[in-house]
Amino acid sequence: MDDPALLNASAEKQMFELQSGSISARELLQLTVDRIDRIDPRLNLIVARDLEAAQRQASAVDQARAKGAIDDDVTPLAGLPMTIKDSFMVTGMPTTSGAVELRDYIPDSDADVVTRLKSAGAIIFGKSNLPLYAGDVQTFNEVHGTSNNPWDTARSVGGSSGGSAGALAAGFSALEVGSDIAGSIRNPAAMCGVVGHKPSYGIVSGRGQIPGPPGTLTLGDIAVVGPMARTVQDCRRALDLLIGPNSWESKAWSLQLPPARPSSDRPLRVAVWANDDYCPVDPEIEQAVITAATSLADNGAEVNFDIRPDGFDFAKADATFDDLLGSALSGSWSMAELEEMAAALAEGRSISGGLGVAGATLRHRQWLSRNERRLQMRQRWLEFFAEWDVVLAPISPTVAIEHDHSHPMSDRTISVAGTARPYTDQMRWMGLFGVVYLPATAVPVATHSNGLPIGVQVVGPYLEDKTCLAVAEQLERLLGGFTPPPLD
């Protein structure tokens, strides 16, 4: 029988038990596997396992720890069992990214982030589910089927790191790594009531993730890789381990993130963007953002409940995000398909698909124009953050949605306070900040009247990830943070 209290605890707590000798790595691994065997048939979150290799690694950790041969500063995750999103290559384990054509693909090398986790002593024993090529805010694919939310199996875990968020919520893994181009860390974190950090663009290597095809070296525009956990502190410590360059940059690359704001001589300054007519959110989500900001104000922060960069327009920013996202994802279509899409747009015909479809057809000169718009927005945010430390905002207009796998994606809708809205509205609040490369931490702050978790995103200045995490940790202390769903 598993131990729910320990398996729902933070990675820090599990590491304390391992380091103190209260439990062995082999025992913790077995407890974790037992829990997955008992609960995952209802959820379908873990889609591949390599237990023999994991057991060997756990035994080696136990032996080394018994001899006093483990330096906890060098291998701070020694013996921690964890799963990882099935888009990241792990030596000897299937990496399908949800694609039928990769059903039998087993890499002979690790993604950079996997290498860093293993170097820290983590035991990666399984893979968590995702949508096809990480391309949806729900988690289902033809290879592994549909993942269900631990809070309500009729609802989605979100996406694309949905299996990761679900595994954290269900007590299957105390630490995960997700990827985020249109909210794929933040959306599932909110849907499942866990923590996720979208780093500043470019500070964590994405090498070894699918898509693109195995062996791809290109770092996709907007796309980042970041930690997911049950606590902000676990995310912060994991980020420290994950930060690093692609291999060809390693000779000269270094990074020292600035300390968290504010300085001791002034209060924290919080801007609030709780709702917007362009992409309206559920009233309870809006209220959760306001309540989170109020809790900070009650603890000394200076809060402005209606401010954003001068002249900043959500619709224009979203249009830029839409086009640049489409360009970043254009490899998903063949040249013939792209030419047909371009012709249809030129003739005024509609084309079906998801967010960013039109941007996939941009000529390079047009892309340069969109990128200049992005740079202008980045400059406005830079000026804004000279006065304000963070922005609090919604993550998605809704809590976890009911499963809807109808095609095409563009025909799906969501219900926001009883009004049908485009399915792609789920990505817009996250794209607003992702397109300009800003860091953002998703943290649970409330429970909806339907019993589902509500998260907010704490957005900070570029490269000031520690500020996002510090404010999110304060909200976690004030409002309660992660609560396990009623699975046991």
Write out the catalytic residue numbers: 85, 160, 184
Note whether 285 and 417 are within 8 A (CB). no
CA distance 362 to 368: 10
**Amino acid in position 103:** R
Count of beta carbons in the 10 Å neighbourhood of residue 270 = 22
DSSP string, 422-444: ETTHHHHHHHHHHTTT--EEEEE
- Phi and psi (nearest 5°) for 470? -65, -40
Take residue 410 and report the two structure tokens written for it: 């563009």
SS (H, E, C) 260-294: CCCCCCCCCEEEECCCCCCCCCCHHHHHHHHHHHH
Antiparallel, parallel or unpaired: β 390-394 and 269-272 = parallel
Helices (H) and strands (E) in the chain, counts: 14, 17
- Spatial CB neighbours of 439, under 8 Å, sequence gap ≥ 6: 197, 198, 199, 200, 459, 460, 461, 462, 463, 464, 465, 468
Spatial CB neighbours of 195, under 8 Å, sequence gap ≥ 6: 189, 228, 229, 230, 231, 232, 234, 235, 441, 442, 443, 444, 472, 476, 481, 482
Collapsing DSSP states into helix, strand and coil, what is residue 466?
helix
Please, is 383 exposed, middle or buried when counting C-beta atoms within 10 Å of its C-beta (0-12, 13-18, 19+)? exposed
Q: Give Cα separations from 443 to 1, 167, 190, 398, 468 (angstroms).
A: 30, 16, 7, 15, 10
Cα–Cα distances (Å) from 392 to 135, 225, 313, in that order, read: 26, 21, 17
How big is the chain, counted in residues?
Answer: 488
C-alpha–C-alpha distance, residues 339 and 345, integer Å: 10
Cα–Cα distance, 149 to 487 (Å, whole number): 11
**What is the distance between the alpha carbons of residues 274 and 283, in angstroms, rounded to a whole number?**
10
Distance CA 263, CA 268 (A): 8
**Which secondary structure element, helix H or strand E, spans residue 240, and what is its range?**
helix 232-242
- Reference 197, options 16, 18, 465; nearest CA is 465
Compute φ and ψ for 274, nearest 5 degrees.
Answer: -90, -20
